[in-house]
Structure 1
């Protein structure tokens, strides 16, 4: 009878685990229709290093290969990068497969957390409720819906597995020692999990098991200095950023106190969520909201310290506070600043701490109810159960809506713009629409928001945006008209930008005399490799003779561009005449061998390949441009249009 009872209990745990996983599939299945978004282009789609190697040593030695941008060496995530490279080897450019992995990982993490909670709380129903809150909470949507955030999901998977193996040391003697490699994988998958050993100490300490795990904890803690040493060695600094928020360490403390309040609000309410918190106000002075925020942070610290002293009486409160605080330390910007003020994904490994506090409240409530008379107990239990279901339903509803915001870049930045129409949201929505070829909508957006760009510098930028859209629509006359209204001698960056775009429009329209005049003026007043190239291109197009452009070519400092420029001129002329075979004959070997720091040759080649029905070759031309300029809207548009056609 005892064996049967034990088996039934074991099957009950398996049933709960299956329900959690089924809930994950039911709630997150819309992810299968989502596309690549946001930094997916910099980390996966347009990252040649992720795509060209599955050697882990490659990423341990080259941290810059995680993100395709020369100025973004903030993160040391060699295991995370390596896993993404393996995923790309199997999934290539099919986002549905990445989102399938996200769903499976998130469901698995919630399931593992259920078993961790079961060891901590010792009540299956409460553990199930806690795991479900972790699963359905809308704050998780950023980490789960974003393919590039596999680093967070895998790191949490490794970390939760390491913790569970430690907690089940007695029943998993044959494999529990895997806790150490799992912990190491977690630490090197995402920077934030460098504190995982401290979290393991907190969990075991609050359950009075530290002495039994002394050796294991010492081994775990060694991963922290190992990570710090390797990060410092290969990045050059342990600190990710060298500028404080709010003008100094004091301003950072005040600002992050406000961020703490914002995080608390997001955890409780579950909204409003956005991908961009750049508009969050920095502060260096104490106003009333900041005073309240500092008081709340101080209260949190005091409660945490008191709970540590009374941990034997309130172990769940102590563990919940520690579990929330420890994973947030690396992203607290205090005392070591980051390049991000706050992000929803930072809460992914920390949310279980808040859930544990909730479980303590529910457990205490049930203990109080158990002392009531029978009828009161039944009604009260039913009431608490209904409130728990309502809470799960509320969070699930918010998450389901939020997942649709992540279906593509357009939806993502529309949702962000509804909350705050700042420069970053506006520009990214603009790029997303351009990448979809929604040019008329972009023009309407520009006309609607023209009042935002009345200052001269902003007006120049806005005119260039208008002109580029008109040029993509082959409305070159309109592009010329918009630019000529703002044209003046190119003595500044903004006036030089106007002149440069106008010169290119003249070139496309065949107004070669005007193009030569403008490019010559630019080459004198605002010299650059690109301007010298277009000056020479205008002269060549006018004369069809290399000897007229030698002086301009000699001024180009980029040796690659200087050497291939005459061939690029011939390719441009062939393109203007519709000789697509000649364009391909000239440009294919050049693009294959040389990284040209101009967008145009790649776009000319892609256009020629597409005109002759060479879909795969056209796609590859767009892809090569993305490698050089991941933010290129023309390359992204070509990528989306051709991805499914070969």
Structure 2
């Protein structure tokens, strides 16, 4: 039956993930595999290229996953089929190793090999193969595994688990053979244990706890929870602890405390906040084990922090729950060895990623390894609950079918980066990063208007300089050069001072006729990155242009001739006409711009409208000014400036009631310039009103 079980596991696992082979790169896939990591872009299959991928690939110390990404890239470049094929293969191989580990563990607990002597509640009268099959089947198709399987770069999580389980399996089988006097086979398997353990550590750092769990397994299932008395066993304990310390020093350095604390300088939470929050996260992981609907699964959780043991109160209850789980595991150690070990396995394998190290608060792929023995525990408990084997099998098969459907549904979310981040935005509406990533995905697709919508959503939650920079790029592409300038300036003000920001700001300034400022920013960019000749070239071209055209008006006319579709340049020309005392020419330019762009470029439209209002007001054409101000309110109903100007208009003509009403609306819309209100002569007619007096007192 073993062969049939393995075949069924492979078919079931493949079917659940059959809709992922063409899903796209998402989030850190881009950072670690595609454009941001040339170290894994292997173009020749050589030892040097493999070494470069292992040592220089990001993230560092993930040697084997980085090598596997490089090999994938060599054979398929950025075609995701090969990457998903490898990920699914790793998932299936892990399932097979787990199947054999569960069998060996169950045989030890049922004393078939005579090595587990006491303190075990009797197992169901079902073969170890059957129990192992159902446990692995549920684990294999569980929706929570999608983050470790479908998310390409989290091959790191699945690969470390595969080698971790293989290492423990080699140890267990080797130990059984050693008990039976098959020394040669045992030595071979122990060697396999060491090699697999090294591969696990070369996949991800959380494998550092493997030596501890090998010793823990030895104590539970071979030493029968008795004191280690053999010198040989004590030697292995010492070796295991040495390995653990060496691994810790390799990844954390000789000053691990400084390394751990320094990680928090890049985080929005402190060490105590993280530790307290993790109590709730661990309990949340357990809840996902039993309620893994797609609506609860997300890559980028907006998980609320804990600020004190009782803030929120669930921190305390979850802390007590974890203590209770640990206490239950200790209590059951001599009464129900398997359940005890499963609980310790869960808590212990979460220890590295869910304790003091300053990494992200929560990721579902962290459940991949720690929950494995919980599936065996649940399977055993289900068979204990039902006297009839077929009833227990039926319950587990029903669970498997439901979980498979949910996993298949969850995998649809990964179809593209846009579908993925759209789902994340719905589930984490108060977190800025999903909005940023959705906007960037839309920007790559050149859906700039939609990208700008989500960038603004992100900024409303938390300003970020890169968001401003990306907004500038989008605004330039759709011709909103004035808005692009503002976006780049905001990025610079938030200390995002890079050659790219300086260079793009220079281009945007040139597009609105600010040629001298553009030259200055091109020169700044060239100084910051002299290896890029384009910045210096653009500065020289612009200087030659200014020397050739000489006057601002002529420069603008020449630029407009080169870029007839750029209304921002024509607006700049209108401003020059105003300075030259040519209001009629300025008005004609503004009117053409207004008719041409409509309200599509909102900022430019309002700027032009405001200049036209001023020109009408100067000429005493108040009705035309009022008409344009009302058009401004139609386009920008939340802009307090237009409400204020209408209040001023009515104040100037002595219509006190209307003036007060519009001034009240302006203030409600956010107008805050009290000094302007107090000194504006056009509001003289309303100064003696009760409303105005109350307003001055309130302010």
Using structure 2 for the length normalisation, give the TM-score: 0.63
CA contact (8 A) 1:63 1:235 kept: no
Residue pairs, 1:398-477, within 5 angstroms? 398-421=406-429, 422-437=431-446, 439=447, 442-444=448-450, 446-447=452-453, 450=456, 467-472=472-477, 475=478
Q: 1:471 to 1:489 in 2, by over 3 A?
A: closer
Measured against aligned partners, the alpha-carbon deviations of 1:165-206 in whole angstroms (never above 9, x if no partner) come to: 122224554741311111111122111111111222222322
Q: Among 263, 266, 275, which residue is 2:299 paired with?
A: 275
- 1:125 aligned to which of 122, 130, 146: 130
Which structure is richer in relative contact order (CA contacts within 8 A, separation 6 or more)? 1
* 8 A Cα contact 2:465 2:491, kept in partner: no
Query: Does the Cα contact within 8 Å between 2:418 and 2:441 map onto a contact in 1?
Result: yes
In the alignment, the residues of structure 2 paired with residue 156 and residue 532 of structure 1 have an alpha-carbon distance, to the nearest angstrom, of: 44
Question: Which residue does 1:18 correspond to in 2?
Answer: 7
- Superposition pairs of residues 59-98 of structure 1, within 5 angstroms: 65-67=56-58, 75-98=60-83
Partner residue in 1 for 2:507: 504
After superposition, residues 255-404 of structure 1 pair within 5 angstroms as: 255-271=277-293, 272-277=296-301, 279-287=302-310, 290-334=312-356, 337-366=357-386, 369=387, 377=388, 381-404=389-412
Question: Does the C-alpha gap of structure 1 residues 43 and 419 become closer, same or farther in structure 2, counting only changes over 3 Å?
Answer: same
Q: Is the 8 A contact 1:84 1:150 kept in 2?
A: no
The 3 A distance-change label for structure 1 pair 18 and 180 is same
Kindly provide the CA deviation profile for residues 332-354 of structure 1, in whole angstroms up to 9, marking residues without a partner as x. 133xx222111111111111132
**Residue 176 of structure 1: aligned partner:** 189
Indicate the residue corresponding to 1:253 in structure 2. Answer: 275
Q: Is the 8 A contact 1:109 1:157 kept in 2?
A: yes
CA RMSD in angstroms comes to 4.2
Any idea what SS the aligned residue of 2:21 has? helix
- Is the 1:316–1:360 contact (alpha carbons within 8 Å) kept by the matching residues of 2? no
CA contact (8 A) 2:2 2:129 kept: yes
Q: Is the 8 A contact 2:171 2:189 kept in 1?
A: yes
CA contact (8 A) 2:503 2:525 kept: no
Report the counterpart of residue 40 of structure 2 in structure 1: 50
CA distance in 2, matches of 1:454, 1:247: 21
Return the alpha-carbon distance in structure 2 between the equivalents of residues 133 and 360 of structure 1. 12
**Equivalent-residue separation in structure 2 for 1:100 and 1:489 (angstroms):** 44
Distance in 2 (alpha carbons) for counterparts of 1:436 and 1:430: 10
SS in 1 for 2:105: helix
1:557 aligns to what?
Answer: none
Change beyond 3 A, Cα 1:152–1:499: closer
Q: What is residue 159 of structure 2 aligned with on the other side?
A: 154
Pairing 1:524-603 to 2, within 5 Å after superposition: 536-542=536-542, 544=544
CA distance in structure 2 between the partners assigned to 1:242 and 1:449 by the alignment: 28
Aligned equivalents of 2:86, 2:390: Cα separation in 1: 37
Kindly provide the CA deviation profile for residues 112-160 of structure 1, in whole angstroms up to 9, marking residues without a partner as x: 1111111222422221111011101111101101222222222211111
CA distance in structure 1 between the partners assigned to 2:494 and 2:336 by the alignment: 63
Quick one: structure 1 residues 249 and 450, their matched pair in 2 at CA, closer, same or farther if it must change by over 3 Å? closer
Task: Tell whether the 8 Å contact from 1:254 to 1:285 is kept in structure 2 after alignment.
Answer: yes
Asked if the contact 1:21/1:107 (under 8 Å) is kept, the reply is: yes
Work out which of the residue numbers 89, 93, 111 in structure 2 matches 1:108.
Answer: 93
**CA spacing shift, 1:253–1:173, aligned 2, 3 Å:** closer
| 1:227 aligned partner | 247
Query: In the aligned structure 1, how far is the partner of 2:6 from the partner of 2:211?
Result: 26
Q: Secondary structure of 1:283's partner?
A: coil
Residues of 2 paired with 1:409 and 1:494: CA distance? 29
CA distance in 2 between partners of 1:537 and 1:243 (Å): 42
Deviation at 1:482, TM superposition (A): 3.4
Q: Which has the larger radius of gyration?
A: 2
Give 1:415 deviation, angstroms: 1.3
User: Structure 1: any 5+ residue segments left out of the alignment?
Assistant: 1-11, 68-72, 370-376, 549-575, 578-646
Retained in 1: the 8 A contact 2:206–2:353? yes
Aligned pair count reads 506
Q: Is the 8 A contact 1:165 1:176 kept in 2?
A: yes
Gaps of 5+ in 2: 108-127, 178-184, 549-561, 564-699
Q: Is the counterpart of residue 142 in structure 1 residue 157 in structure 2?
A: no
**C-alpha distance in 1, partners of 2:464/2:6?**
58
Q: Given the superposition, is the C-alpha separation of residues 486 and 258 from structure 1 closer, same or farther in structure 2, using an over 3 Å criterion?
A: closer
Deviation string 1:411-457 (CA, Å, 9 cap, x unpaired) is 221111110132111110011112223x1xx41453488577579x9
Assess, with a 3 A threshold, how the Cα gap between structure 1 residues 193 and 427 changes in structure 2: closer, same or farther: same
Q: Secondary structure at the match of 2:305?
A: coil
SS in 1 for 2:350: helix
Q: 1:448 to 1:124 in 2, by over 3 A?
A: closer
SS of structure 1 residue aligned to 2:514: helix
